[in-house]
Chain A
Amino acid sequence: MDLNETQPTVVVSSPSGRISLRPMTLSDVDDYMVWATDAEVARFCSWEPCTSREEAIKYITDSVLTHPWLRAICLEDDRPIGYILIMPVDKIRKEIGYVLARKYWGNGFATEAVRLVTAEVFKEMPEVERVEALVDVENVGSQRVLEKVGFTREGVMRKFIVMKGSVRDMVMFSFLPSDPFRY
């Protein structure tokens, strides 16, 4: 997949076949709203819950479709239950982020998506030396996702990020091309 193409059409499935990743489109707006309007989902995200379909359409158009690397996480019926994205930090580091509708928490879907995407990043982007994730100290569920994939918990960075007006302690995780995946 060429990083310069904003909307590649390849769909990637996890080995188990339970989830697949594909670009998001505007026609995903109603499924998007299921998680984007949920305050519990938004709790550790930088964004506030979405309050209208118009707002959702605007956000998908301005921020999702334009994102250099974002994929819908879909179940067998090809409808998104969340998304996963990669952000460049610098030439050698990428940061991974993901969000899942609450109804689907606890099934290992985020874990599969993170494992899939991390492997893909190192294949597609050979210059990347490190994939990292920053997780709020209180977001234990998300920390478990990364641990289950095999990310290394490097430490707690105190007073690291401002989230919705509060300064938060964040746990730093990383995965290197030489690290083994946990299954």
Chain B
Amino acid sequence: MPSKETNVQENSKESSSEMEIDSCTLKAMISSPSEKIHLRPMTLSDIDDFMVWATDVNVTRFCTWEPYTSREAGIAFINNFVLPHPWLRAICLDDDYAIGSISVTPVDSIRGEIGYVIGSKYWGKGIATEAVRLVAAEIFKEMPEMERLEALVDVDNVGSQKVLEKVGFVREGVMRKFMCLKGNVRDMVMFSFLPSDSLL
């Protein structure tokens, strides 16, 4: 696992010995738009970076959870939810600091649901799109029993819908009065990506 203290690494990609160059990272380096990102497991040492996006009401607007107000609650979240999660990754820029997270959560034996959150300072740079693309490209190899990767997005969350469309997810339809979000019943757009689908 790359360590944040190691800033002595060369800035050339070939000698990034501190960073594991897996296929996700390689694709990120090759194909990222304005910012280069990579995915790695999230740990307790990410707590301060986590608090940056988790306390931001703009970020949590379409999340099921309210903004975090204490570091202790953030630590508890990482311990109780992040660390045991079957598939959750920090989204990192070159300096390996976490600017968001992305996860795939099993719905049942054949379906997984993708979810992602990015600090608002980094919106509009194609970062979420790249993170989702990396996951869609690799997840079926890691979870071969999965037949369907899906996402449920609030009808008003146009930014997130555009992310999925840019990657190549299929917009299947609007599910009316589908989910309770912070006490309101919301219409949600259902998207899916299958192993046989093409990434855009």
Contacts and interface: CB of A to CB of B under 8 A. Distances in A.
Interface string A76-100: 0000000000000001110000000
A156 B110 CA distance: 17
Contacts of A93: 177-178
How many chain B residues sit at the interface, stated as a range, is 10 to 19
B192 A157 contact: yes
B111 interface: yes
A157 B176 contact: no
Nearest to B180: A92
A32 to B, nearest CB: 29
A92 B172 CA distance: 22
A155 B185 contact: no
A167 B147 contact: yes
A66 B170 CA distance: 39
Nearest to A171: B173
Interface string A139-169: 0000000000000101111111010000100
Interface string B161-200: 0000000001011111110100001000010101000000
A20 interface: no
A12 to B, nearest CB: 25
Contacts of A156: 172-173
B152 to A, nearest CB: 11
Interface in B125-180: 147-148, 170, 172-178, 180
Interface of B: 109-111, 147-148, 170, 172-178, 180, 185, 190, 192, 194
9 contacts: A93-B178, A130-B178, A154-B172, A155-B173, A159-B147, A160-B111, A162-B109, A167-B147, A172-B175
Nearest to A167: B147
A91 B178 contact: no
| Most chain B Cβ neighbours within 10 Å, of A130, A158, A172 | A158
Given A154-B173, A158-B170, A172-B173, A167 B110 contact: yes
Interface string A161-183: 01000010000101010000000
Contact of A158 (B177, B185, B192): B192
B109 A154 contact: no
Q: Which 5 residue pairs across A and B have the least CB separation, nearest first?
A: A155-B173, A155-B172, A154-B173, A129-B177, A130-B177
A155 to B, nearest CB: 2
B109 A158 contact: no
Interface in A50-105: 91-93
Contacts of A157: 172, 190, 192
Contact of B185 (A92, A154, A159): A92
Contacts of B185: 92, 129-130
B194 A176 contact: no
A154 B177 CA distance: 12
